[in-house]
Structures are given as C-alpha cells and as structure tokens.
Amino acid sequence: MKRARRPSPQTLPAPLGRALLNLAALATLGGAALPVAAQAIEYRSVGAAALLRAQPATDAEALYRLRPGTPVEIVVREDGWLRVRDPEGGLAWVEGSALSTRRMVIVTAERALVRRAPAESAAPAFEATRHVVLELLEPASQGWARVRHVEGFEGFVRASEVWGL
C-alpha cells in the first residue's frame, strides 16, 4: 500500500515554501512571536424573569424564560439586544434592559460546599445544590470565589463548582 507523501517546503512554490518554514520556526518557539487576541468574557445576570427569543425582536418566537438572578454570558450586542449563552449552553436573544449589572453565579456541581475561607481545610459555611444562584462578591482568585446566598450566608466556593465567572 502506498502512503500519501506530505509536501515539504522544498517541493512547494518558493513563497509558499518559505511561509511554511516560517510557521515551523514559530511553532518550534512555542508561538511566542504570534500575536494573541485577548477577549474578556462578559457575564451579566437576569434582573426580573427574562424571556429569551430566537431573533432580536419583540415579535420573534419566544424560546424560554430564565428566572431572576440567572447568570448569562454575553456573546453579541445588536441594537439594544444581546445574544447570550445560558448556563446550560443554549444561545438566544434577550433585551439588554432585562439584564442587571449585579454579578451572580450558578452552582453546577451536584453539591458545592461553601467554606468560611478560600481553602479546602476551612470550616464549612453552607452547602448549595445544583442550580442554586449565588451573588458573586469577589472575583475568583486562586480557584475560589467569594459568594453570598439569598438568605445572607457568605463564604468561598470552588470556581470549578459554579458557572458565570
């Protein structure tokens, strides 16, 4: 059986061959010379219950409703409408006015043990189950985020156990 031969830079036209050699050199350097496009992920939370739609229009098909406090990731902005990703990964449109600047996260683990300090050895403050929404008090640092339950309990949750950071 004959194997397909991969073209080498020497068998390609000169400009293309040089380009491949340059790419190979960059790859060898770990891509250190390549520019990196940094884009921050923006999360917001639903203010009042929000109706999510198939298109950015008030008369577009209503897909589903998110309860107050649910965090969403903003993907696209268009004329007062936001295309958002919900905690389950669904994409839909919502009016920008339906979202709050208050930061919330949602528990994705079956049970998240919220601790009094950002350490595995710290005493438990409370436990939150999947789909519980918590207010984000401080951004995640070293794998822990400071949160508050609606009933006023505060503590630190592992960043890997919540969505919306």
Phi-psi region of 67 (alpha: psi -120 to 50; beta: other; left: phi over 0): beta
Residue with tokens 């229009």: 57
Q: 23 — phi, psi (to 5°)?
A: -65, -40
In tens, the pLDDT along 21-57 reads 344 443 444 444 444 445 578 999 999 889 999 999 9
> Two tokens at 22?
């340059």
Flag whether 47 is in a domain.
Answer: yes
Contacts of 155 (CB under 8 A, 6+ apart): 114, 115, 116, 124, 125, 126, 146, 147
State mean pLDDT over 118-147: 96
Flag whether 87 is in a domain.
Answer: yes
Which domain-ending residue is among 100, 124, 139? 100
Same domain, 61 and 92: yes
> Two tokens at 30?
């770990």
Flag whether 31 is in a domain.
Answer: no
3-class state of residue 128 by DSSP: strand
Number of domains in the chain: 2
Q: SS in 3 state form for 88-157?
A: CCCEEEEEHHHEECCCEEEECCCEEEEECCCCCCCCEEEEEECCCEEEEEEEEECCEEEEECCCCCEEEE
Flag whether 74 is in a domain.
Answer: yes
How far is residue 106's CA from residue 114's CA, in Å, rounded to a whole number? 13
**11-25, 70-84, 89-103, 144-158: range with lowest mean pLDDT:** 11-25
What integer pLDDT is reported at residue 49 of this predicted model?
81
DSSP for residue 8:
P
State mean pLDDT over 125-140: 96
How far is residue 99's CA from residue 72's CA, in Å, rounded to a whole number? 9
Range of the domain at 89: 42-100
Q: What percent of the chain has pLDDT over 70?
A: 76
Same domain, 94 and 120: no
How far is residue 61's CA from residue 58's CA, in Å, rounded to a whole number? 8
Same domain, 88 and 134: no
State mean pLDDT over 137-143: 94
Same domain, 66 and 109: no
- The amino acid that residue 91 corresponds to is L
> Two tokens at 137?
């008090």
Which domain-ending residue is among 100, 122, 139? 100
Flag whether 16 is in a domain.
Answer: no
State mean pLDDT over 2-22: 43
What integer pLDDT is reported at residue 39 of this predicted model?
58
72: domain CATH number is: 2.30.30.40
